[in-house]
Structure formats: C-alpha cells, structure tokens
Structure 1
Amino acid sequence: MASIDLDKVLDKAWADKDLTEILAAPVAVLKGVSDRDGELLQEAFGVKTVADLAELKYVRWAQALAALEAAK
C-alpha cells in the first residue's frame, strides 16, 4: 500500500487528524483547494467532502485513463 505525506496534501491544521475525520471534511482541507473551489465542486458535482471527491466518477475515470496510459 502506498503511503502519503499528509503535510503535503492537507492544510496544516488537518495533517494530524484521523483519516475518518479528514474524509468527512470539506474539500477545502486539501492544499490548493479554496473554499470557493469547494463551493463550485458542490454546485457542479454535488461534492461536499474529501470522500465525495474521491468517489466522484469523473475522478475515477480520469485516474483509470491515466493508469492505462502509464501501462503502455
């Protein structure tokens, strides 16, 4: 299983939180995602939380396409 440096992907205040809490948090806890970005994701795709973003079919499709390209 791959590891991830939470300090690099989360706002500083969230890096020491439990993963369950992070997944339930608004997407703005991700570095580089503003509150406004979160509002736009909710308006466009119904994404409210980090878990919602991870489960978004368009994200999964894009990841699958990138994996196919990498496997060439």
Structure 2
Amino acid sequence: MASIDLDKVLDKAWADKSLSEILAAPVSALKGVSDNDGELLQEAFGVVTVADLAELKYARWAQALAALAPSAK
C-alpha cells in the first residue's frame, strides 16, 4: 500500500483530517493550490473536490503519458 506524508501535500488545516474528509475537501486543501486556482479548476473542468481532481480524465491521461516516457527513449 502506498503512503504519503500528508504534511507535505496538504495545508495544515487538513493534515489531521480523515481520508474521506480530505477527498471531499476543496482542491485548495492541497498545498500550493489557492482558492483562486480552485475556482479556475471548477470553471474549466468542473473540479470542486480533491476527489474530483483525482478522477479528472485529463490528469489521468497526462499521468499515463508521463509513465510511458521512460520507455520511449
């Protein structure tokens, strides 16, 4: 099972929350994502929550392409 240091990826207010609370949180709960960034993501892609961002097909496509990059050399 993968692990992650929540202090490195979440704003302090969210680091002690449950996984279900984090997934339901606004994307601005992620460190480095501002409220304005969240508004732009909602406007452009309909992303409201951390879970929405994780499920965004464009992000998944980009991750898949990046995973292929080492084998493309």
Percent of aligned positions with the same letter in both sequences? 86
- Write out per-residue CA displacement over residues 9-46 of structure 1, whole angstroms, 9 at most, x where no aligned residue: 00011111000000000000000000000000000000
**Matches for 1:22-37 after TM superposition, within 5 Å:** 22-37=22-37
Amino acid across the alignment from 1:32? G
User: Root-mean-square deviation (CA), in Å?
Assistant: 0.6
User: How far apart, in 2, do the equivalents of 1:48 and 1:13 lie?
Assistant: 18
Letter aligned with residue 23 of structure 1: L
Paired residue type of 2:54? A
User: Could you list the runs of 5+ residues in structure 2 that have no partner in the other structure?
Assistant: none
Residue of structure 2 in register with 1:68 after alignment? 68
Provide the TM-score with structure 1 as the length reference: 0.95
Give me the whole-angstrom Cα distance separating, in 2, the residues matched to 1:25 and 1:13.
11
Give the TM-score of the pair, scaled to structure 2. 0.94
Q: Which residue of 1 is the match for residue 48 of structure 2?
A: 48
1:17 aligns with 2:17: yes
Question: Cα offset for 1:69?
Answer: 1.0
